[in-house]
Structure 1
Amino acid sequence: MTTKIVLVTGGSSGIGEATARTLAARGHTVYAAARRTDRLEKLTDDGIRPLAMDVTDDASARGGVEKIVEEAGRIDVLVNNAGYGSYGAVEDVPLDEARYQFEVNVFGAARLAQLVLPHMRRQRSGTIVNITSMGGKIHTPMGGWYHGTKFALEGLSDCLRLETAPFGIDVVVIEPGAIATEWGGIAADHLRERSGDGAYSAQARAVADMLSSESNRSRNSSPQVVADAIAKAVDARRPRTRYAMGFGAKPLIALKWLLPDRAFDAIVKRAVGVRS
């Protein structure tokens, strides 16, 4: 297996941390990026190189990529994992917050792709892995802005795949289902803050309770299942364009494709406890 130079964003916890450790264990040289490098120190025992990076700051993103190329001479894989979920009714979420979610989840990933592509084109090889979600194929109440970012990243990835194929560059989409990370609790907190009172409070409370419930957390899949799928794509000679894994991902994506919109709406409302 050829050793590859890999950048993993959002590498300090959850899927990013599991991915960095898995790829390093497979012999790759891994740079794990996060805004706070103190949270990355735990990875250094595995030979993972910490990298300070804010994906929403152009100078920070550019400096991180330049540092990798300067030290390693190339960059072979970008794993765009940095992202977060800010839930709340579309009407309630301030546009500044909505824009910031797009800055992190979409424009941050796109900017890093822009920065690594000149190096990958010169190499005539490379892999860009974009972590979307089953939320890039399905929808839930109170998640409009989050789902919007994931749908956008799905479409961006498809176009990028067509554009970069002539240069030997693969673009892979990873679509996790429900994963046992901090994500659910953070999303629930945002939801209660934005829509816990007012016109959408009944829906907001139901969705927040589902996101933060112990029963929900107990059935969620380990971040390792996502890390394993990413590693499979990174090591494949010809990776698939999409990998769906984790609790609920494959059946819900299939149902969304098969069912009329209103029938799928009814299933989603029942699943999240919304009765109206």
Structure 2
Amino acid sequence: MNIEAKDLQTALIKASKQFECSVIDLEYDVIQHSKTGFFGLFRKNAIIYVKGHKKNHNEKFKKNHNEKSTKHTSKSYEKNEQKKEYKEKNQRPLEIQSKEYYKVKNDVIFDSFHKESEEEKDIDFYIDEIKISLEKLLATFDFDIKVIQVSIWDKNCVLIKLDGKDAALLIGREAHRYKAFSYLLYNWLNAKYKIQPRLEIAQFLENQTQAIDNYLKILIEKIETNGKVQTKPLDGIWLKLALEKLRERFPNKYVAIKQNDEQRYIVVNDFLKKNE
């Protein structure tokens, strides 16, 4: 019998009521694990296939008891063997022990050197790995979205281009899904590879960049006239794009993010100098 519920625990409780037995007596296979979804999407219920329930508790007890006895005997044997090996090792000539010590020490140093070298690999080394991981992630979505491109943007950033029939759904209203997905990618790539993503879904990032450019033209005129300016409240990709462009345009001015309650905006002025 297949039982479906919002999570595995609820499914097991439901099955135990139908079979009139304890949850621990159920014999079942998990067909599908539950998923909480992504902003209300992709949610999946847990599904289990219940074969029946165990009838003889004594057989289970005897089996567990025999397994524990076997494990205890095995552990005792291993412990005695370890003592014997330790005794034989310490009875060997000091010269042999010394050579083995330095051999182990040198092996550890050699391994550490290669681990450090692996950590210093360029982004290019990870491009294919990132693309494959992204394709596996998108395959779990119900959206028709494909990985179009994964390439190096700069030494600390990788460009990720996605597109498909459901691109607009992944962007979401007021770009709330785009921001959430960007944050998810940032946490993954920064933690694993020490790099950050530049996410392009369809032409969303390109369009937003153009919109920011048009807005910044007005701000730049004010800065050149008055020497200072404060932007309207910005967040997410808009805040990042505006900050990058203003710092590039005015390298000798103070350009920083300020926060007032829950709103963030950018200030540019001559009174404070940007820390290099």
Same fold (TM over 0.5): no
Say which structure is richer in strand. Answer: 2
- Higher RCO structure (Cα 8 Å, ≥6 apart): 1
Report the TM-score range of the alignment, normalised by the length of the smaller protein: under 0.3
Which TM-score applies when normalising by structure 1?
0.22
Which TM-score applies when normalising by structure 2?
0.22
